[in-house]
Structure 1
Amino acid sequence: MKKIIEIKPAAGFTQAPVNTVAPLTGANTVSGLTNPPPLSLYIHIPWCVRKCPYCDFNSHESRFKNGEIPEAAYIDALIADLGAATPKVWGRKIRSIFFGGGTPSLFSPEAIDRILSNVRALTPLEYDAEITLEANPGTVDSAHFSGYRQAGVNRLSLGIQSFNADYLKALGRIHDDRQAIAAAELALETFERVNLDVMYALPRQTLEHALKDAKQAIALGPDHLSFYHLTLEPNTPFHRTPPSLPDDDTSSDMQVEIEHLLAAHDYEHYETSAFAKKGMQARHNLNYWQFGDYLGIGAGAHSKLSYHDKITRESRPKHPKAYMEQAILGNAIERVWDIERDELGFEFMMNALRLIEGVPASLFRQRTGLSLHTLDNAIRTARNKGLLTADQDRLQPTLLGQRFLNELLELFLE
């Protein structure tokens, strides 16, 4: 089975500055963005207890002399970063917030409360905004969960990865099978909405054991499950020294059988790696896949922001120390670039075609300002190859297109 391109949920038509210049009219200019896309906020917490050998996220082991990470200083930087960024999204409501990492659950409940209090003071939140925090089963207890809930977190995403002690050890995780189950049960008692992250195609994993993990996740009864195929990402220990992984046929069988098992228990497969009970899809992630806007703050965070004449991306310094120094000085943004007109089709499709039911065809113009006819050749080829269903109403990957998503997306690069 071919590896699927993974988007790492990191990161708008914004009110233009008072002294803005006239809209550009060059060949690469985007025009036709008349309404703002939904806006989300991503907050990156970069530290973890130990870096997992498969992880390519911007995370850093917490190796401080006193054993404590610099919560207060980092929050000061986050607040300064957000304050400097708010003019770009002035007046737009935030529909979701996501604390990612690293391991956000290394931060105290008081720290999360301070961050969210400042977010509320600086930006308008939708009344029922989804606020998700990622947590590691080895770093939490009932007091932490209760504190996060009181601070305003209403959805927890727990990095289980496996319920098998041997596979957890092979993955370099800091928790064991008992902690995984205990943390999941505690999360379900504390939060109304819970996601469990589980991986398959692990080192020396059998189909039987992969399905046993899936059955355990289902038995716990969360409203959302994410099942990720382990991939060997560049610049990771697993990539440099690959473990013994299941072959393509076995890992493909795992994927198919897990999907069937989840469907039999009323989990809707709505995105490449995501399954949810009815109405419980992750709103934050859906905004990514539907090419919405997101403001990313924190070390290494990325943003995508749409204006009336362009769509831009931003990145922050990856190293926490460099980020904190620059954010306090008002220079948190390391790089800004426009998405070129001829790149927008691929950028849109790379997100939208991860959704099992696709997106309305009209969404392409709404989110890019371009006519869908600019992709006629790629769409025609994708349909002829049996990878895409496309008409005037909807763009949707076929089952074959879902299985060979890379091949489908490559058509929009040409």
Structure 2
Amino acid sequence: MNEMTRFGGVFEPFADTGDPGFGVYLHWPFCAAKCPYCDFNSHVRHKPVDQQRFIEAFRQEIAYTSGMTGPRTVTSIFIGGGTPSLMEPSTVGAILDSVARNWTVPDGIEITLEANPSSVEATRFRGYRDAGVNRVSMGVQALNDADLKVLGRLHDVADALKAIRLARETFPRLSFDLIYARPGQTVAAWEAELKQAISFAVDHLSLYQLTIEEGTPFYALHKAGKLVVPDGDVSAELYEATQAITADAGLPAYEVSNHARPGAESRHNLTYWRYGDYAGIGAGAHGRLTLNGSKVATATERLPERWLEMVEARGAGHVDIEELELEEQADELLLMGLRLTEGLDLSRWEALSGHAIDTEREAFLIEQGFLERLGNSRIRCTPAGMLILDAVVADLAL
């Protein structure tokens, strides 16, 4: 894989052609510390992780999954976590080589690795690039030292800026994440921070409102009244400011929380939102695969050590492989498709659901300013509809 993925940063627009592609998601479940807002499958280990043992397990599960899918052409690879930038570059290279041995991996596909600024160094980044990674997604989260501390991050702003600079020098494409609607955050402060972020000349930004997830330390603090986040009105103002500033800067939203210069959208995430197939490999990974004409949902064991034992014993760590009914697929397509500014392909949804969209509900949502038609074949949420996306989806799914 190394030779065929050393290429430049020119990417063509990624229009919806009706074929969402086939992605491979690789989950590295370890972090240096657990952030208090995070409910992802990430684990802290105080002893070094046996990376060679995990390489072998990834190889086994990739081969097992390839046996399920048969020959497929991979359109994107995403290495997420956890903190994949804790992996040695040789580990990343070995896992990517295994993907290439089991499926067809064309030259120049998007290969993304998530990284945290606290685990970044120039030699490691060069190693990832040599291994085949051509896009980095950086977990910056804030450009404010006080807020980084509240969020439990191990880096400060200086670390983040250094990591961004290194990433820009090393990889053709760069994205980073920011969280807004943080405790005490004002609209003016967020506007200034977002403009600063855009000035770093990234081609993609993921901008998420802070959500209080059950089971996290933030949830307990919020429930006890010790963590106060902006109310609904302020959150809406923050969202609207986000859309306006990014659009003015040439990074319009292409999904409810993701912004990119035209042509720089995340191919891998578009495969999710366009409801394509993707293989989920690693502890706690989820997948959607079409097998023998049926769509199935896969899930693997979340605990890394248990996943490792399962893979070593039987070739894969699957704890659930469920065939999805057509109605379930239609619901998932609706949920994903309406997240996108390109909207939902109605003919595809109707083929799965077995009926046309409810014209009365559609007309009501259009009249209220939450939904709009794109020609005869697509619908999408308006900016106002994106603010109440879950409600719009629920209404149409009835």
TM-score by length of 2: 0.90
Please report how far the alpha carbon of residue 376 of structure 1 lies from its aligned counterpart in structure 2 after TM superposition.
Answer: 5.5
Determine whether 1:404 maps to 2:392: no
Equivalent position amino acid for 2:338 in 1? L
1:150 equivalenced with 2:130 (yes/no) = yes
The residue aligned with 2:341 is: 356
Residue from 54, 57, 61 that aligns with 2:37: 54
- Cα distance in 2 for residues equivalent to 1:378 and 1:300: 37
Q: Helix, strand or coil for the counterpart of 2:127?
A: helix
Please give the alpha-carbon distance, in whole angstroms, between the structure 2 residues aligned to 1:40 and 1:135. Answer: 19
Q: Work out whether 1:114 is the aligned partner of 2:91.
A: no
- Contact 1:272/1:402 (<8 A) preserved: yes
Residues 223 and 277, structure 1, Cα contact 8 Å, conserved in 2? yes
Q: Structure 1 residues 382, 253: closer, same or farther in 2, change over 3 A?
A: closer
CA shift in 2, pair 1:362/1:210, >3 Å: same
Q: Matches of 1:412 and 1:270 in 2, distance apart? A: 21
Higher relative contact order (CA 8 A, sep 6+): 1
Instruction: Please report how far the alpha carbon of residue 393 of structure 1 lies from its aligned counterpart in structure 2 after TM superposition.
Output: 1.6
- Once residues 322 and 93 of structure 1 are traced to their aligned partners in structure 2, the CA distance between those partners, rounded to angstroms, is 30
CA distance in 1, matches of 2:153, 2:183: 13
**Count of matched residue pairs:** 375
The answer for the alignment partner of 1:79 in structure 2 is 59
Q: Is the 8 A contact 1:381 1:411 kept in 2?
A: no
- Judged with a 3 Å threshold, the aligned counterparts in structure 2 of structure 1 residues 36 and 223 are, in CA distance, closer, same or farther, namely closer
Q: Which moved more, 1:272-281 or 1:205-214?
A: 205-214
Q: How well do the aligned residues superpose, as a CA RMSD in angstroms?
A: 1.8
The amino acid that maps onto 1:231 is T
Offset of 1:408 from its aligned partner?
0.5
Listed one character per residue, the Cα deviations across residues 305-355 of structure 1 (whole Å, up to 9, x for unaligned) are 124542110110000001000011224211111222322222111100000
Instruction: Name the amino acid aligned to 2:32.
Output: V
Q: Which residue of 1 aligns with 2:299?
A: 315
Q: How does 1:113-192 map to 2 (within 5 A)?
A: 113-192=93-172
Q: Which residue of 1 aligns with 2:253?
A: 269
CA drift of 1:295 comes to 0.3
Is there any run of 5+ residues in structure 2 with no aligned partner, and where? Answer: 1-17
Distance 1:357 1:255, change over 3 A: same
SS at structure 2 position matched to 1:342: helix
Q: Distance between the aligned counterparts of 1:80 and 1:376, measured in 2?
A: 49
Equivalent-residue separation in structure 1 for 2:19 and 2:265 (angstroms): 22
Indicate the larger mover: 192-201 or 324-333: 324-333
CA displacement at 1:37 relative to structure 2: 5.0
Structure 1 residues 262, 300: CA separation in 2 closer, same or farther (over 3 Å shift)? same
SS of 2:275 mapped into structure 1: coil
**SS of residue matched to 1:94:** coil
Describe how 1:2-401 pairs up with structure 2 within 5 A.
Answer: 38-64=21-47, 68-242=48-222, 243-329=227-313, 330-364=315-349, 369-371=352-354, 373=356, 379=362, 382-383=365-366, 385-390=368-373, 392-401=376-385
3-state SS in 2 of match to 1:392? coil
Distance 2:363 2:306 in 1: 47
Please report how far the alpha carbon of residue 108 of structure 1 lies from its aligned counterpart in structure 2 after TM superposition. 0.8
**1:374 deviation in Å?**
6.3
SS in 2 for 1:198: strand
SS of 2:287 mapped into structure 1: strand
Whether the aligned pair in 1 keeps the contact of 2:327 and 2:352 (CA below 8 Å) is no
Deviations 1:162-213 (A, max 9, x none): 1100000000000001101111111111111000101101122222221222
Matches of 2:345 and 2:333, distance apart in 1: 12
Q: Distance in 2 between matches of 1:211 and 1:374?
A: 38
SS where residue 228 of structure 2 aligns? coil
Deviation at 1:372, TM superposition (A): 5.1
Please, which moves more after superposition, 390-399 or 160-169? 390-399
Give the whole-Å Cα distance in 2 for the aligned partners of 1:260 and 1:400.
Answer: 13
Q: Is the 8 A contact 2:88 2:124 kept in 1?
A: yes
Code of the aligned partner of 2:105: L
Structure 1 SS opposite 2:140: strand
Give the drift of 1:379: 4.0
- 3-state SS, counterpart of residue 275 of structure 1: strand
Name the CA distance, whole Å, in 1 between partners of 2:80 and 2:198: 24
Alpha-carbon distance in 2 for matches of 1:317, 1:256? 39
Whether the aligned pair in 1 keeps the contact of 2:68 and 2:291 (CA below 8 Å) is: no
Tell me, what secondary structure is at the counterpart of 1:291?
A: coil
Paired residue for 1:9? Answer: none
Partner of 2:6: none
Cα distance between partner residues in 2 of 1:402 and 1:374: 19
Is the partner of 1:86 in helix, strand or coil?
helix
Question: Displaced runs of 4+ in structure 1, greater than 6 A?
Answer: none
* Residue equivalent to 2:12: none
Flag the 1:185–1:248 CA change in 2: closer, same or farther, 3 A. Answer: same
Identity percentage over the alignment? 36
Matched residues in 2 for 1:250 and 1:380: separation? 29
Superposed CA offset, 1:48-104 (max 9, x none): 00000000100001222xxx1221111111110011110222221010000000000
Cα-to-partner distance string for 1:229-250 (whole Å, 9 max, x where unaligned): 0000111110111212122222
Cα displacement (A) at 1:214: 0.5
Partner AA of 2:391 in structure 1 = E
